[in-house]
Chains A and B, each alone.
Chain A
């Protein structure tokens, strides 16, 4: 190895300090929120609709989270905090869940918010059209509304995962009086949303901006502090970086600029880089091995591949430090379910070679054992760089990798429908409950279904299916966590999918925008706590 140059040593230190929590200057600055100001946020790409109830794409959730409230929101440790529900009880048998709703809350059109809105949304949206919630809410048999501020869910079988879906984007409550009897998916209010949230929809100029204004009747004390909230559409990454640098925009989420650029922007005095607020999303980046491939069907070969790949290098070099090595498919940001005691595959190319030899795949005359293809998720340079890294890492142990590039539609068809691949990369939001984002990667029912981000490997293990099914209807939180821990041990032993890294998405925001990031689902929640600190000016 060459000596460590001074420049890179310095940039590494800088990176480390960048990713540390916000600096001390924030603590010293003014701490009393100040009213007023317009926050310009960057939304990318432009949302197709502004109501998260009918579309779970990130841009829609970003805007929608400011117009709607959830029953609860989630703290950094993913515990539940009151929002439209002030308290809730889950019966010991898990078959009854009761929510007590906040009183005196109004929809933006002045109508009162009541338990009937929740009941209607659950029955007509969460159970029927919401892609993530359908299976989680399917056990809800009846919804009782004994009074205007109490909702009681009665379930055929328990479904504790419900408790992880209850924020504004996970289970959006729609105003029944505007939606009842209409076609929900084409209701015009999807594009001029009426919520109960801190900001009121004003205008959507397609291709340019979405304008929200402060809700003067908001239930939460003097919040929000900002007068206006503008979402600007900026399709070009360089333009986004420039807008943030010049202060034309003060807030952008989901890693809005290239990672290396983020390091530079994060060092500027007028900007801050923030990696909190993604805990509810908890993105996991992984490789799927096609276990119908003649080589990859052998678990020894899959384990050898795991030993040949340096997860530290992927996190530190390929993802510029905006990732940490994954231990299991349920990330450490979901501590209640994360199992740190799963089998681990330390970076050890020699061990990889031994395993491959044992599998009977000796190096040929040209040093090559066998060939594989790698299809990387075409979501940008970071995924392609990961492919470049894999090619080199596997070459060292005698596996030749042919990288294939393609567009997203071809990728989804190839990997999830045709299953015409050897090794593919992808990422899922893990969410606070493995049932929301992780188990679908392993559940056998999804094989070959063509549904993106489900079981691509072709893994079919009755034990795993059983653990998943049991956990889905277990009434006891602790027992469920135990089932999911066991699930992680089994899948990390069989290794149909190799978790590579917990991605650390980042937010860029203006340094004088205070108290922005307050919760674990911040990126899809409202900016009601944020305020502009003008004391330094």
Chain B
């Protein structure tokens, strides 16, 4: 990346990024994949935002006969599950929970991953050695098993799940950020900033972090998708929070009736598929749009 041109030295932090504001949006909109991703994401955001308004009642409430198939009763367009809970209300409310878990868990792992990556990359030497050994330690543990262990110890609840996903999904990000930081650390403008006597935290926060944003943004969109999938897997294994409705929990509950009433597990499964697909398409699009070489 052609990030650190010497003449940009004194420029405001934002200007260090070659891609900014409207340009990025335009480049994103030129990619059909990204557009599809954005539209799907908008639909899911709409579902999450409108759940309380369209389906104000508790989605866990038993409102009708069990096993109404989609179309059996116009009042329940997607049918009801084994306890007579409205599936469409569940999917709308599930969007809130799944998205919230995805976003918050990603935020947690961004904090850890970016923090460690920046520190290790900037300071190098023994701190780098120590932090990277710790990162490798985390990388050697299969992430899902790690999440399972954490949730089993903390008891399944939304905060525990968010924490578990957050503290297990950062190592990859930390390595990427470290690599980017190492590159920037050796660039002339950073040498110059050090020469000017700027404190390290300012250099890291205002001059190096903006330079690493592109891979962070791309990773983050993928991490949200992974977090949603991980929560679904947990709920599928019965380790979700039984007090809230999530897509994974709905799939898990519907698993036992897969042979007889496949729609109960399939409909929320499609919701997961759409959400993950949307985030992946968007991530790919962002990756392309942010890749400086491609648009030159």
| A residues neighboring B (CB under 8 Å) | 1-5, 7-8, 11, 237-238, 241, 258-261, 263-264, 317-318, 320, 378, 381, 384-385, 387-389, 391-392, 395, 402-407
Q: How many residues of B contact A (CB 8 A)?
A: 31
Contact across chains for A5 and B83 when beta carbons are under 8 A apart = no
- Contact A385–B83 (Cβ < 8 Å): yes
Q: CB of B141 within 8 A of chain A?
A: no
Q: Is the CB of B69 within 8 A of A384?
A: no
Cβ-defined contact, B60 with A2, below 8 A: no
With A and B bound together, what is the CA distance between A407 and B152 in angstroms?
A: 8
Does A261 lie within 8 Å of B83, measured CB to CB? no
How far, in whole Å, are A488 and B208 apart by their CA atoms in the complex?
A: 74
Residues of A within 8 A of B83 (CB): 317-318, 385, 388-389
Q: How far, in whole Å, are A385 and B64 apart by their CA atoms in the complex?
A: 16
B2 within 8 A of A: no
With contacts A260-B257, A389-B83 taken as known, whether A2 is within 8 angstroms of B58 at the C-beta atoms is: no
CB atoms of A260 and B72 under 8 A apart:
no
The 3 residue pairs across chains A and B that have the minimum distance between CB atoms? A258-B256, A403-B242, A5-B72
Is B155 interfacial (CB-CB < 8 Å)? yes
Query: Which A residues touch B243, using CB under 8 A?
Result: 391, 402-403
Q: Chain A residues with Cβ under 8 A from B82's Cβ?
A: 260, 317, 320, 385
Asked whether, in the complex, the Cβ of A8 is within 8 Å of the Cβ of B260, the reply is: no
Docked complex: B244-293 residues within 8 A CB-CB of A: 253, 256-257, 259-261
B65 and A384 form a contact (CB under 8 A): no
A-contacting residues, B173-225, CB 8 Å: none
CA gap between A250 and B5 in the complex, in Å: 77
Given A7-B72, A392-B60, decide whether A384 and B242 contact each other with a Cβ distance below 8 A. yes
Interchain CB contact (< 8 A) of A391 among B60, B64, B65, B256? B60
The answer on a CB contact under 8 Å between A1 and B64 is: yes
- Indicate if the CB atoms of B260 and A2 lie closer than 8 Å: no
Could you tell me if A405 and B156 are in contact, using CB atoms closer than 8 angstroms?
A: yes
Known interface pairs A4-B65, A395-B58; A261-B256 also in contact (CB < 8 Å):
yes
Give the distance in Å from the alpha carbon of A318 to the alpha carbon of B81 in the complex. Answer: 11
Q: Supply 18 A–B pairs (Cβ within 8 Å), ascending by A.
A: A1-B64, A2-B68, A5-B68, A8-B65, A8-B66, A8-B72, A260-B257, A263-B260, A317-B82, A378-B238, A381-B256, A384-B253, A385-B83, A388-B83, A388-B242, A389-B62, A403-B243, A404-B155
**Contact (Cβ within 8 A) B238 A384:** yes
Q: Which residue of A lies closest to B264 (CB)?
A: A260
List B67-117 residues whose CB lies under 8 Å from chain A. Answer: 67-69, 72-73, 75-76, 82-84
List, in ascending order, chain A residues with CB within 8 A of B61's CB.
392, 395
Q: A3, A260, A389: which contacts B256 (Cβ < 8 A)?
A: A260
In the complex, whether B47 has a CB less than 8 A from a CB of chain A is: no
| B60 and A8 contacting across the interface, CB-CB below 8 Å | no
Whether A405 contacts B72 in the complex (CB less than 8 A), given A8-B65, A381-B256, A388-B83, comes out as no
Answer yes or no: B239 CB below 8 A from chain A CBs. Answer: yes
State the CA gap A317–B65 with chains docked (Å).
Answer: 9
Nearest B residue (CB) for A388: B83
Kindly list chain A residues whose C-beta atoms are within 8 Å of the C-beta of B259. Answer: 238, 241, 261, 264
Known: A405-B238, A405-B239. A2 touches B261 (CB 8 A): no
Find the residue from A4, A7, A241, A388 having the highest chain B CB count within 10 A. A388
Given contacts A261-B257, A384-B242, contact A317 B75 (CB under 8 A): no
Identify 16 new A-B residue pairs, CB closer than 8 A, beyond the known A1-B64, A260-B260, A320-B82: A4-B65, A7-B67, A7-B69, A8-B68, A8-B72, A258-B257, A260-B256, A317-B83, A384-B242, A384-B253, A388-B60, A392-B61, A392-B62, A395-B61, A402-B243, A405-B242
Residue of chain B at shortest CB distance from A242:
B259
- B69 near A2 with CB under 8 A, answer no
- Closest B-chain residue to A317, C-beta based? B66
A residues within 8 A CB of B58? Answer: 392, 395
Residues of B within 8 A of A395 (CB): 58, 61
Look across to chain A and name the residue whose beta carbon is closest to the beta carbon of B74. A2
Q: Residue-by-residue, is B40-70 near A (CB-CB < 8 Å gives 1, otherwise 0)?
A: 0000000000000000001011101111110
User: Across the interface, which residues of A come within 8 angstroms of B67, CB to CB?
Assistant: 7-8, 11
- Cα A387 to Cα B73 in complex, Å, equals 27
- Across-interface contacts of A7 in B (CB, < 8 A): 67-69, 72
Q: What are the residues of chain B within 8 A of A388 when measuring CB–CB?
A: 60, 83, 242
- Please measure, in the bound complex, the distance between the C-alpha atom of A381 and the C-alpha atom of B62, giving whole angstroms: 17
Residue of B nearest to A387 (CB): B242
Q: Which residues of B contact A263 (CB under 8 A)?
A: 260
- With the chains together, A26 CA to B269 CA distance in Å? 43
Query: Closest approach, in angstroms, between the C-beta of B288 and any C-beta of chain A?
Result: 42
**For residue A2, which residues in chain B have a CB less than 8 angstroms away from its CB?**
64-65, 68, 73, 75-76
Chain A residues lying within 8 Å of B240, measured Cβ to Cβ, are 405
- Provide the bound-state CA to CA distance between A402 and B239, in Å: 15
Specify which chain A residues have a CB less than 8 angstroms from the CB of B75 in the assembled complex. Answer: 2
Is A317 a contact of B260 with CB atoms below 8 Å? no
B261 to chain A, nearest CB (A): 7
Say whether A264 contacts B238, CB under 8 Å.
no
A4: chain B residues at CB < 8 Å are 65
Quick one: given A264-B259, A405-B239, are A5 and B60 in contact (CB under 8 Å)? Answer: no
Instruction: Report the nearest A residue to B62, measured CB to CB.
Output: A392
**A260→B263 CA distance, assembly (Å):** 14
Interface centre among A258, A259, A378 (most CB of B within 10 A): A258
On chain B, the residues within 8 Å of A406 by CB distance are 155-156
Give, as a whole number of angstroms, the nearest-CB distance from B40 to chain A: 30
Residues of B within 8 A of A3 (CB): 73
CA distance A317 to B155 in the complex (A): 28
* Known pairs A260-B82, A318-B83; A5 contacts B65 (CB<8 A): yes
* Residue of B whose beta carbon sits closest to that of A4: B65
Cα(A475)–Cα(B24), bound, Å: 90
Scoring B67, B256, B257 by chain A CB atoms within 10 A of each residue's CB, the highest score goes to: B256
Distance of A271 from chain B, by nearest CB (Å): 14
Q: Name the residue in B62, B155, B242 with the highest tally of chain A Cβ atoms < 10 Å from its Cβ.
A: B242
Q: Roughly how many angstroms separate A237 CA and B255 CA in the complex, as a whole number?
A: 11
Whole-angstrom distance between the alpha carbons of A384 and B67 in the complex?
18
Q: How far is the CB of B189 from chain A (nearest CB, A)?
A: 53
Inter-subunit contact B68/A381 (CB<8 Å): no
What's the least CB distance linking A259 to chain B, in Å?
8
Residue of B whose beta carbon sits closest to that of A264: B260
| Residues from chain B with Cβ under 8 Å of A320 in the complex | 82
Q: How far is the CA of A50 from the CA of B73 in the complex (A)?
A: 52
Distance to closest chain A CB from B237 (angstroms): 10
Encoded as 1 (CB less than 8 Å from any A CB) or 0, chain B from 222 to 239 comes to 000000000000000011
Assembled-state Cα–Cα distance A390/B8 (Å): 64
Instruction: Report the minimum CB–CB distance from B293 to chain A (whole Å).
Output: 49
Taken together as a complex, chains A and B put the C-alpha atoms of A237 and B256 apart, in Å, by 9
- Nearest CB on B from A33, distance (A): 34
Cβ–Cβ < 8 Å partners of A385 in chain B: 82-83, 253
